[in-house]
Amino acid sequence: MIRIHACRKAYRGQHRQGAVQVLDGLDLSVGAEEFVSVLGPSGCGKTTLLRIVAGLTPWDSGDVIVNGRPVSGPGPDRGMVFQDFALLPWATVAENVAFGLELRGVERRARTDTAARLIDAVGLRGFSSHYPHQLSGGMQQRVGLARALAIDPEILLLDEPFGSVDALARRLLQEDLLTLHAKTRKTVLLVTHSVDEAARLGDRVVLLSPRPARVIEVIDTGLPRPRPAHVGADPRFIELKEYLWDRMKTLPGLERHDHGDATRIPDRPADD
Protein backbone atom coordinates (compact mmCIF):
# COMPACT_ATOMS: atom_id res chain seq x y z
CA MET A 1 0.00 0.00 0.00
CA ILE A 2 2.71 2.51 1.08
CA ARG A 3 6.41 1.86 0.54
CA ILE A 4 9.13 4.39 1.33
CA HIS A 5 12.75 3.50 0.67
CA ALA A 6 15.88 5.56 1.38
CA CYS A 7 13.89 8.80 1.42
CA ARG A 8 15.93 11.95 1.94
CA LYS A 9 14.69 15.50 2.28
CA ALA A 10 16.48 18.76 3.12
CA TYR A 11 15.09 22.28 3.34
CA ARG A 12 17.34 24.85 1.73
CA GLY A 13 18.40 27.63 4.05
CA GLN A 14 17.59 31.28 3.47
CA HIS A 15 19.98 34.23 3.63
CA ARG A 16 23.01 32.00 2.91
CA GLN A 17 22.24 29.61 5.72
CA GLY A 18 22.98 25.94 5.14
CA ALA A 19 20.40 23.30 4.28
CA VAL A 20 18.57 21.54 7.10
CA GLN A 21 18.45 17.78 6.62
CA VAL A 22 15.01 16.54 7.74
CA LEU A 23 14.80 12.95 6.51
CA ASP A 24 17.93 10.84 6.16
CA GLY A 25 17.46 7.62 4.22
CA LEU A 26 14.13 6.77 5.82
CA ASP A 27 12.50 3.38 5.14
CA LEU A 28 8.86 2.61 5.97
CA SER A 29 6.09 0.32 4.76
CA VAL A 30 2.37 0.24 5.56
CA GLY A 31 0.12 -2.64 4.52
CA ALA A 32 -3.49 -2.50 3.36
CA GLU A 33 -5.98 -1.81 6.18
CA GLU A 34 -3.11 -1.40 8.65
CA PHE A 35 -3.02 1.39 11.24
CA VAL A 36 0.57 2.56 11.72
CA SER A 37 1.60 5.17 14.28
CA VAL A 38 4.80 7.12 13.59
CA LEU A 39 6.22 8.34 16.89
CA GLY A 40 9.01 10.84 17.28
CA PRO A 41 10.08 13.96 19.17
CA SER A 42 8.85 17.39 18.15
CA GLY A 43 10.65 18.76 15.09
CA CYS A 44 12.05 15.42 13.90
CA GLY A 45 10.40 15.52 10.46
CA LYS A 46 7.14 13.60 11.02
CA THR A 47 4.94 16.18 9.28
CA THR A 48 7.36 16.39 6.34
CA LEU A 49 7.16 12.62 5.97
CA LEU A 50 3.36 12.71 5.91
CA ARG A 51 3.25 15.58 3.42
CA ILE A 52 5.58 13.65 1.13
CA VAL A 53 3.24 10.64 1.17
CA ALA A 54 0.30 13.00 0.56
CA GLY A 55 2.07 14.41 -2.50
CA LEU A 56 2.19 17.91 -1.01
CA THR A 57 5.98 18.12 -0.54
CA PRO A 58 8.69 16.92 -2.95
CA TRP A 59 11.62 14.88 -1.66
CA ASP A 60 15.25 14.85 -2.76
CA SER A 61 16.02 11.17 -3.31
CA GLY A 62 14.68 7.71 -2.64
CA ASP A 63 11.39 6.03 -3.53
CA VAL A 64 7.88 6.85 -2.31
CA ILE A 65 5.35 4.37 -3.69
CA VAL A 66 1.59 4.27 -3.04
CA ASN A 67 -0.50 1.47 -4.49
CA GLY A 68 2.39 0.45 -6.72
CA ARG A 69 2.82 3.90 -8.26
CA PRO A 70 5.42 6.57 -7.51
CA VAL A 71 3.90 9.58 -5.76
CA SER A 72 3.82 12.58 -8.09
CA GLY A 73 1.26 14.76 -6.31
CA PRO A 74 -1.98 14.59 -4.31
CA GLY A 75 -4.53 11.98 -5.33
CA PRO A 76 -8.02 10.77 -4.41
CA ASP A 77 -6.54 7.61 -2.90
CA ARG A 78 -5.15 9.70 0.00
CA GLY A 79 -7.02 11.94 2.43
CA MET A 80 -5.17 14.13 4.94
CA VAL A 81 -6.31 15.46 8.30
CA PHE A 82 -4.30 18.42 9.57
CA GLN A 83 -3.47 19.41 13.13
CA ASP A 84 -4.76 22.97 12.70
CA PHE A 85 -8.16 21.84 11.30
CA ALA A 86 -7.65 23.82 8.02
CA LEU A 87 -11.39 24.46 7.64
CA LEU A 88 -12.87 27.13 5.38
CA PRO A 89 -14.07 29.76 7.87
CA TRP A 90 -16.75 31.14 5.53
CA ALA A 91 -18.27 27.71 4.83
CA THR A 92 -20.72 25.70 6.91
CA VAL A 93 -19.94 22.28 8.34
CA ALA A 94 -21.78 20.63 5.44
CA GLU A 95 -19.97 22.78 2.88
CA ASN A 96 -16.59 22.03 4.45
CA VAL A 97 -17.24 18.29 4.42
CA ALA A 98 -18.41 18.38 0.80
CA PHE A 99 -15.59 20.65 -0.41
CA GLY A 100 -13.39 17.90 -1.84
CA LEU A 101 -16.36 16.38 -3.65
CA GLU A 102 -17.22 19.75 -5.17
CA LEU A 103 -13.68 20.09 -6.50
CA ARG A 104 -14.09 16.70 -8.14
CA GLY A 105 -17.28 17.77 -9.89
CA VAL A 106 -19.66 15.56 -7.91
CA GLU A 107 -23.23 16.76 -8.38
CA ARG A 108 -24.92 18.66 -5.57
CA ARG A 109 -27.38 16.00 -4.39
CA ALA A 110 -24.66 13.37 -4.05
CA ARG A 111 -22.43 15.88 -2.20
CA THR A 112 -25.25 16.75 0.19
CA ASP A 113 -26.09 13.11 0.89
CA THR A 114 -22.46 12.15 1.50
CA ALA A 115 -21.86 15.13 3.78
CA ALA A 116 -24.99 14.38 5.83
CA ARG A 117 -23.98 10.73 6.27
CA LEU A 118 -20.46 11.58 7.40
CA ILE A 119 -21.53 14.44 9.67
CA ASP A 120 -23.75 11.93 11.43
CA ALA A 121 -20.95 9.33 11.50
CA VAL A 122 -18.55 11.69 13.32
CA GLY A 123 -21.16 12.72 15.88
CA LEU A 124 -22.11 16.15 14.54
CA ARG A 125 -25.78 15.61 13.70
CA GLY A 126 -27.59 18.95 14.04
CA PHE A 127 -24.49 21.04 13.26
CA SER A 128 -24.55 20.96 9.45
CA SER A 129 -25.40 24.67 9.19
CA HIS A 130 -22.90 25.85 11.78
CA TYR A 131 -19.68 27.67 10.91
CA PRO A 132 -16.24 26.71 12.24
CA HIS A 133 -16.10 29.61 14.72
CA GLN A 134 -19.28 28.24 16.32
CA LEU A 135 -17.65 24.88 17.07
CA SER A 136 -15.26 23.66 19.74
CA GLY A 137 -11.80 22.46 18.74
CA GLY A 138 -12.88 18.84 19.01
CA MET A 139 -15.91 19.45 16.83
CA GLN A 140 -13.78 21.23 14.23
CA GLN A 141 -11.45 18.25 14.10
CA ARG A 142 -14.43 15.96 13.56
CA VAL A 143 -15.33 18.12 10.56
CA GLY A 144 -11.78 17.72 9.26
CA LEU A 145 -12.01 13.96 9.62
CA ALA A 146 -15.39 13.86 7.85
CA ARG A 147 -14.00 16.00 5.03
CA ALA A 148 -11.10 13.58 4.54
CA LEU A 149 -13.49 10.61 4.52
CA ALA A 150 -15.87 12.27 2.05
CA ILE A 151 -13.63 11.51 -0.93
CA ASP A 152 -13.54 7.87 0.22
CA PRO A 153 -9.74 7.56 0.14
CA GLU A 154 -8.03 4.22 0.58
CA ILE A 155 -5.46 5.86 2.87
CA LEU A 156 -5.94 8.33 5.72
CA LEU A 157 -2.93 10.49 6.62
CA LEU A 158 -3.25 12.04 10.07
CA ASP A 159 -0.88 14.85 11.09
CA GLU A 160 -1.06 15.15 14.89
CA PRO A 161 -4.83 15.45 14.39
CA PHE A 162 -5.74 15.74 18.07
CA GLY A 163 -2.84 17.88 19.26
CA SER A 164 -4.87 21.10 19.39
CA VAL A 165 -7.68 19.88 21.66
CA ASP A 166 -7.95 19.26 25.38
CA ALA A 167 -7.29 15.88 26.97
CA LEU A 168 -10.93 14.78 27.19
CA ALA A 169 -11.71 15.75 23.59
CA ARG A 170 -8.52 14.00 22.49
CA ARG A 171 -9.54 10.72 24.10
CA LEU A 172 -13.06 10.91 22.65
CA LEU A 173 -11.67 11.64 19.19
CA GLN A 174 -9.28 8.71 19.49
CA GLU A 175 -12.21 6.42 20.30
CA ASP A 176 -14.18 7.84 17.36
CA LEU A 177 -11.22 7.19 15.06
CA LEU A 178 -10.90 3.59 16.26
CA THR A 179 -14.61 3.06 15.63
CA LEU A 180 -14.36 4.51 12.12
CA HIS A 181 -11.30 2.40 11.36
CA ALA A 182 -13.13 -0.75 12.47
CA LYS A 183 -16.05 0.12 10.19
CA THR A 184 -14.20 1.34 7.11
CA ARG A 185 -10.91 -0.63 7.31
CA LYS A 186 -9.03 2.29 5.82
CA THR A 187 -5.26 2.19 5.79
CA VAL A 188 -4.12 4.80 8.33
CA LEU A 189 -0.75 6.50 8.81
CA LEU A 190 -0.70 8.66 11.93
CA VAL A 191 2.16 10.86 13.09
CA THR A 192 2.29 11.90 16.73
CA HIS A 193 4.68 12.79 19.51
CA SER A 194 2.34 11.24 22.12
CA VAL A 195 3.48 7.85 23.41
CA ASP A 196 -0.03 7.11 24.71
CA GLU A 197 -1.67 7.97 21.37
CA ALA A 198 0.80 5.96 19.31
CA ALA A 199 0.29 2.85 21.43
CA ARG A 200 -3.47 3.25 21.86
CA LEU A 201 -4.22 3.55 18.13
CA GLY A 202 -1.57 1.69 16.16
CA ASP A 203 -1.11 -1.90 15.02
CA ARG A 204 2.56 -1.01 14.77
CA VAL A 205 4.55 1.91 16.18
CA VAL A 206 7.42 3.27 14.08
CA LEU A 207 9.93 5.10 16.26
CA LEU A 208 11.86 7.92 14.55
CA SER A 209 15.15 9.47 15.58
CA PRO A 210 15.56 13.19 16.24
CA ARG A 211 16.15 15.23 13.07
CA PRO A 212 17.24 14.12 10.57
CA ALA A 213 14.66 11.37 10.92
CA ARG A 214 15.52 7.71 10.46
CA VAL A 215 13.55 4.68 11.61
CA ILE A 216 15.06 3.49 14.88
CA GLU A 217 12.66 0.63 15.61
CA VAL A 218 9.30 -0.82 14.54
CA ILE A 219 7.20 -2.34 17.33
CA ASP A 220 4.13 -4.55 16.92
CA THR A 221 1.65 -3.46 19.59
CA GLY A 222 0.05 -6.89 19.94
CA LEU A 223 -3.23 -5.25 20.95
CA PRO A 224 -6.58 -6.59 19.71
CA ARG A 225 -8.79 -5.28 16.93
CA PRO A 226 -11.37 -3.95 17.27
CA ARG A 227 -9.56 -1.96 19.97
CA PRO A 228 -11.63 -1.93 23.20
CA ALA A 229 -12.28 1.36 24.99
CA HIS A 230 -10.65 -0.07 28.13
CA VAL A 231 -7.40 -0.93 26.34
CA GLY A 232 -5.61 1.47 28.70
CA ALA A 233 -5.95 -1.14 31.44
CA ASP A 234 -4.45 -3.92 29.32
CA PRO A 235 -1.06 -4.99 30.77
CA ARG A 236 0.30 -5.21 27.20
CA PHE A 237 -0.64 -1.55 26.61
CA ILE A 238 0.93 -0.43 29.88
CA GLU A 239 4.12 -2.35 29.15
CA LEU A 240 4.24 -0.96 25.60
CA LYS A 241 3.86 2.63 26.83
CA GLU A 242 6.65 2.19 29.34
CA TYR A 243 8.92 0.68 26.70
CA LEU A 244 8.21 3.47 24.20
CA TRP A 245 8.74 6.14 26.82
CA ASP A 246 12.07 4.64 27.86
CA ARG A 247 13.16 4.47 24.21
CA MET A 248 12.12 8.08 23.61
CA LYS A 249 14.14 9.25 26.61
CA THR A 250 17.30 7.63 25.33
CA LEU A 251 17.17 8.72 21.69
CA PRO A 252 20.58 10.04 20.58
CA GLY A 253 20.92 13.82 20.50
CA LEU A 254 17.69 14.43 22.42
CA GLU A 255 17.62 17.39 24.78
CA ARG A 256 15.13 17.88 27.59
CA HIS A 257 15.06 21.65 27.17
CA ASP A 258 14.76 23.89 24.16
CA HIS A 259 18.12 25.41 23.22
CA GLY A 260 18.06 26.96 19.78
CA ASP A 261 17.58 24.21 17.21
CA ALA A 262 17.96 21.35 19.68
CA THR A 263 15.30 18.70 19.39
CA ARG A 264 13.43 18.43 22.64
CA ILE A 265 11.08 16.10 24.41
CA PRO A 266 8.77 17.57 27.05
CA ASP A 267 8.74 16.40 30.64
CA ARG A 268 6.57 13.33 30.98
CA PRO A 269 2.90 14.19 31.60
CA ALA A 270 1.04 12.26 34.29
CA ASP A 271 -1.08 10.27 31.83
CA ASP A 272 1.51 9.71 29.11
pLDDT tens, 184-194?
899 999 999 88
Most confidently predicted of 81-85, 100-104, 228-232: 100-104
pLDDT digits (tens, 9 = 90+) for 109-152: 999 999 999 999 888 999 999 999 999 988 998 898 899 888 88
Complete DSSP assignment for 9-44 = EEEPPSTTPPPEEEEEEEEEEE-TT-EEEEE--BTS
The average pLDDT across 147-166 equals 87
What percent helix, strand, coil does the chain show, rounded to 5? Answer: 35, 25, 40
Note the pLDDT of residue 133. Answer: 94
What are 58-92's pLDDT values in tens digits? 999 999 999 999 999 998 899 998 887 789 999 99
Q: Residue 251: is its pLDDT beyond 60?
A: yes
Q: What pLDDT score was predicted for residue 248?
A: 87
Q: Could you say which DSSP state residue 60 is in?
A: S
Question: What number of other Cβ atoms are within 10 A of residue 59's Cβ?
Answer: 21
Mean pLDDT along residues 170-181: 86
Q: Residue 192: which residues within 8 A CB-CB, separation 6 or more?
A: 37, 38, 39, 46, 160, 163, 198
Averaged confidence pLDDT in the chain: 87
* Res 261 pLDDT > 70: no
What pLDDT sits at residue 252? 67
What CATH architecture applies to the domain 1-77+155-162+186-221+231-266? Answer: 3-Layer(aba) Sandwich (3.40)
230-237, Cβ contacts within 8 angstroms, sequence gap of 24 or more: 231/200, 232/200, 237/199, 237/200
pTM, 2 dp? 0.85
**More confident: 174 or 257:** 174
**Confidence category of residue 265, pLDDT binned at 50, 70, 90:** very low
Look at residue 107 and tell me whether its pLDDT is greater than 80: yes
Q: What is the pLDDT of residue 65?
A: 95
pLDDT band per the 50, 70, 90 thresholds, residue 259: very low
**pLDDT score, position 268:** 44
